[in-house]
Structure 1
Amino acid sequence: MPTEPIAPDLRFLLLPLPEFALLPFGGFLDKLRFTADEEDYSRQRYCAWRILGIEAGSVRASSGVAVHTDLAAADARWDEYDYLVLFGGRSARATEALAPRYRPLLRRALRHGVKLVAIDNASFLLAACGLLDGHKVAVHWRHEAEFRASHPRVEVMSEQLYCVDGARITCAGGMAAIDLAVELLAGACGRTRALKGLPDMLVDEARGSAHALRSLDDAAVSGRHVGRAIALMRTLLGTRATSDELAARIGVSRRQLDRLFLQRHGRTVRAYWTEMRMQHARWRLLNSGHALAQIADEIGLADTSQLARQFRRRFGQSPARFRKQPG
């Protein structure tokens, strides 16, 4: 076992935000750990990291687990680090509300040449701080419509796991944090060392940024046209695009696409798309405090009256009443 000191190729500050998701944090950190040393010794030799907090103490994850921060922002020597990696909170709105407190820290990092990495909903914080203007961003599919509505001037790269755009790097979250870690490590440590440890993590391979998830709506077994249509439905969720336009973009007739959806999902294209919109509205009502007008805009409806009619038809009550329900 080698003992000689080695200057790390990359140095990371990991900044979990309040209510951060534990999965991408743990996946990203463990990928650093495997790459950082020979075998599985867990020493910080080829890459190094510290857990940063806005202040000393601990940060609680959305699961309730508390993670200790070993470095306060005021004590960070920014010129000693290459990346500041932020792990987003459960609520996009609550994450955006952190902007006044975190903006000075983020701007300080940029002034010292530190690249900003936003994982999961941390992209909302960077956007709220005005730090994604002119940059492209990868967002979790569940939050894509919300991000587009809140930050229409930021270009969203649909169906991408992560996006490296200069000093701004974004990641959709989840297991994609491992893929992003491999990408960042490969540039400085080499591909072989970047891939080290994936078998130990029971990960088959590192996925590229444009990898298409097979788990979304059973797209793998839905057929090529249906799977492509469902992906486009998500991308076009906040638009007024029609089922006819959707079929045209795929290269089939509306009647043929309806027949495929009826065979595989028991409903027409329009009915499937309406259900997707209603489920998104339901999720947003449960997980955000945004106005009904914004939620209607996110799912391509003209106004709150149209949202109320469709929501009541699907769930038997108005959006306002549904939101007031306990639990």
Structure 2
Amino acid sequence: MTKSEIQQIGFLIFPGFPMACLTSMIEPLRAANEIAGQLRFGWKLVSEDGSKVTSSAEVSFEPDCALAEAQALDVLFLLSSPGSRFVHEKASNGILRGLQRHGVTLGGISGGVFPLVRSGVMEQQRCSVHWCYEAAFRAEFPQVDAADEVIVTSGRCHTASGAAAAFDLALRMVEEVFGADVAHEVACWFQHPMMRGEGVRQRIPMQESPDARFPDLVARAAALFSQHIEETTSINEVAEALAVTPRQIERAFKKATGQSPSHYYRALRMKAARQLVLYSKDSFADVAAAVGYASTTPLKAHYSAAFGVSPQEDRARINSFRVRDNIPVPSV
């Protein structure tokens, strides 16, 4: 087999990248080579300067080369947290644009879509954005079409929302090279229940009711709440839109979620606020306005009640911890 028949895939890793996204792509590609008995996928790790990179799990990786030395790649995926930036931004972004001009397919997994878009290679293209980063992404890139689909291919760019989506994307690559039978066997090896393709929307976790599902009224009300984060709505307005009484919504939420609709709504707004605090450079006044608060004072009080830390403390600690005091910082 000639070298040109091997699809060479690079993984550009940034400090604090989610390790699961890397293994979720490499393992199915490795398994496909073994099952088919052919070496059709090769891969190498790349960092900006070629030095060791530590993942969000504090596991260190030795890259094969620096970005400037990444040659003969067919695909290059960026893996990072949302706040990751190149040390030498102008030069490294230029290298990415040059690779794209020379036919390399680029991609971003999870938070990797942030440096991918910052590089300038995603002009007027759609990309998959994990739901926990959506508010921060839209704040920084209002001109980019952020999709809630697990995988998006736009032009010659592939984006996937997280580690599970990365596995699906790898299976699709396997299917294109080896066929559906090998892709199916790879999925079976890893007990992966189904291969999701483009057009499949992300599933956002919700607190389950005792019978493991939201009743229709609660689901419809929750959808309206989620659509009114910046321009807030009231229980009365939601009830009017759904042609029910506020009391009906109160009872339904209490039974299904164990909390009032107002507390559920506030939790949605706090989750959006936390995305902006952790993954954007917006001022706290701008964060407050983005989630429907006229000033920072009530935002800070509700934020502290929800997460046990103030917005200032949360932002200050983002680069120093992944999980502390039972407060998770997403790395998906």
Q: Which amino acid aligns with 2:123?
A: D
Q: In the alignment, is residue 180 of structure 1 matched against residue 169 of structure 2?
A: yes
Instruction: Give the CA deviation at 1:179.
Output: 0.9
2:31 alignment partner AA: F
Q: 2:121 aligns with which of 124, 131, 136?
A: 131
Cα deviations by residue, 1:160-207 (Å, 9 ceiling, x for unpaired): 212111212211112221011112332333222233322222222222
Flag the 1:119–1:323 CA change in 2: closer, same or farther, 3 A. closer
Change (3 A) 1:196 1:161: same
Do the aligned partners of 1:145 and 1:237 also contact (CA within 8 Å) in 2? Answer: no
Q: Which moved more, 1:189-198 or 1:294-303?
A: 294-303
Matching residue of 2:98: 108
Using the aligned pairs only, state the percent identity. 25
For 1:122, the aligned partner's letter is G
Q: Counterpart in 2 of 1:163?
A: 152
Q: CA 1:224/1:24 → structure 2, altered by over 3 Å: closer, same or farther?
A: farther
Q: How far is the alpha carbon of 1:322 from its aligned partner? A: 6.9
Q: Which of 242, 267, 270 is equivalent to 1:275?
A: 267
User: In the alignment, is residue 14 of structure 1 matched against residue 11 of structure 2?
Assistant: yes
1:314–1:213 Cα change, 3 Å: closer
- The Cα of 1:133 is off from its aligned counterpart by 2.6
Deviation at 1:87, TM superposition (A): 0.8
Q: Is this contact kept in 2: 1:57–1:69, CA < 8 A?
A: yes
Deviation at 1:269, TM superposition (A): 2.7
Structure 2 CA distance for partners of 1:295 and 1:116, relative to 1, 3 Å: same
Match of 1:307 in 2: 299
Provide the C-alpha distance between the structure 1 equivalents of 2:276 and 2:184, rounded to a whole number of angstroms. 37
What secondary structure does 2:53 align onto?
A: strand
**Are the structure 2 counterparts of residues 123 and 321 from structure 1 closer, same or farther at C-alpha, using a change threshold of 3 Å?**
closer
Would you say the 8 A contact 1:115–1:167 is kept in 2?
A: yes
**Partner SS for 1:164:** strand
Please give the alpha-carbon distance, in whole angstroms, between the structure 2 residues aligned to 1:238 and 1:272.
Answer: 16
How do 1:68-107 and structure 2 match up within 5 A? 68-77=62-71, 80-89=72-81, 92-95=82-85, 99-107=89-97
SS of the residue aligned with 1:14?
Answer: strand
In 2: Cα distance, 1:215 partner to 1:207 partner: 18
What SS does the corresponding residue of 2:188 show, helix, strand or coil? coil
| CA-CA distance at 1:117 after TM superposition | 0.8
Give the superposition deviation at 1:233: 4.6
Aligned length: 315
Q: Which runs of 5+ in 1 are unaligned?
A: none
* SS of match in other structure, 2:62: strand
Contact 2:106 2:156 (8 Å CA) reproduced: yes
Q: Which amino acid aligns with 1:295?
A: V
Question: Quick check: 1:145–1:238 contact (8 Å CA) kept in 2?
Answer: no
Q: 1:36 aligns with which of 20, 33, 36?
A: 33
Is the contact made by 1:9 and 1:189 (CA closer than 8 Å) also made in structure 2? no
Residue number among 137, 141, 149 corresponding to 1:151 in the alignment: 141
Q: Which amino acid aligns with 1:76?
A: A
| CA–CA distance in structure 2, aligned partners of residues 33 and 316 of structure 1 | 43
In structure 1, C-alpha distance between the alignment counterparts of 2:122 and 2:249, rounded to whole Å = 37
Task: Provide TM-score, normalisation by structure 2.
Answer: 0.79
Structure 2: how far apart are the matches of 1:183 and 1:238? 37
Question: Match for residue 207 of structure 1?
Answer: 196
SS in 1 for 2:143: coil
Name the SS of the counterpart of 1:56 in structure 2.
coil
Give 1:98 shift.
6.8
State yes or no: 1:59 paired with 2:49: no
Closer/same/farther in 2, CA of residues 93 and 293 from structure 1, 3 Å limit? farther
**1:121 equivalent in structure 2:** 111
CA contact (8 A) 1:120 1:173 kept: yes
